[in-house]
Structure 1
Amino acid sequence: MGLLDDLVGSLRNNNGSGQGNQLQQLMAIWNWVQEQGGVEVLLQKFQQGGLGQVLNTWIGSGNNQPVNSGEIQNALGQDQLQSLADKLGTDVNGASGTLAALLPQVIDKLSPQGHIDTSSTQDLGAMVDGLFKR
């Protein structure tokens, strides 16, 4: 499965959670991102929220600069994060913490050439959807 395997492997190496939980979180985040208008809209919100430089490290070929849950909350707002929190079964702090942990890796994997590959975002959605419809 390529991209999805890379994501799950990367997530497992960095946070030690079980693969099933990671896939559930990834699916919830993916659905939420689509509700926000897609990856491109989410990235615009990050830029408008003052996280443009951080975002550039995720898209670029160097190391990913970390982001904390407070920065995520400031960039995206409580209402949008509450929607994600509901999907993840947590509160806004938990949702922003999960995004802070997972989103840099997801964006990094979606931008291997230094820009977001929109065909990869569609492939990721299809792969994640397919896994949960089995």
Structure 2
Amino acid sequence: MSLFNQISSLLGGEKINQYKTVLEWVGSQGGIEGLVKQFDTAGLSELIQSWISTNANLPISAKQIVAVFSSPVINDLASKINLSATEASEMAAQYLPKLIDKVTPDGVVPKDLDLVSAGMDILKAKIFGG
């Protein structure tokens, strides 16, 4: 049984499936490097750079999430996780800074980062204190 399946069975599948889907969605946006480019294009590079750095994370609003990714991209994410577009952008605004911060603890984006595995490891550590 995979780590994902183990955690999913412990916590109830829907929230874990949403979490995994969000990780896969971030990966489909080009991973962290792709996100950096999208934030640069939207004029919000200082936000994502704060999450990558070892400094405090700057907050992002749901409206800024939509500005970075566009409504069609957010609508696609929302449909995959069974939320409204508003809920999906709010969820992304809440968790994206934390996720990027956790997978870049030294202030750099690791080469060949497997975002889904890294994200599931973060969740496992949070649940089991590992």
- TM-score category by the smaller chain? 0.7 to 0.9
- Please give the residue correspondences for 1:28-39 in structure 2 after superposition, counting only pairs within 5 Å: 28-39=21-32
Amino acid at match of 1:52: S
Instruction: Say if 2:88 is the partner of 1:100.
Output: no
Match of 1:42 in 2: 35
Amino acid at match of 1:81: I
Q: Do 1:32 and 1:83's aligned partners in 2 also have CA atoms closer than 8 Å? A: no
Amino acid at match of 2:117: A
Matched residue SS, 1:50: coil
Between the aligned partners of 2:15 and 2:40, the Cα distance in structure 1 is 26
| Larger helix percent | 1
Q: Which runs of 5+ in 1 are unaligned?
A: 1-18
Displacement of 1:22 in angstroms is 4.8
TM-score, normalising length from structure 2? Answer: 0.74
What is the CA RMSD across the aligned residues, in angstroms?
Answer: 2.3
Q: How high is the sequence identity, in percent, across the aligned residues? A: 29
Q: Which runs of 5+ in 2 are unaligned?
A: 1-10, 124-130
Amino acid at match of 1:109: K
1:26 to 11, 19, 31: 19
- After superposition, what is the alpha-carbon deviation per residue over 1:48-107, rounded to whole angstroms, capped at 9, x for unaligned? 112101111101111111100000101110011111101111121111111000000000
Size of the alignment, in residue pairs? 110
- Please give the residue correspondences for 1:11-22 in structure 2 after superposition, counting only pairs within 5 Å: 20=12, 22=15
Between the aligned partners of 2:24 and 2:98, the Cα distance in structure 1 is 17
Match of 2:5 in 1: none
2:116 to 111, 120, 125: 125
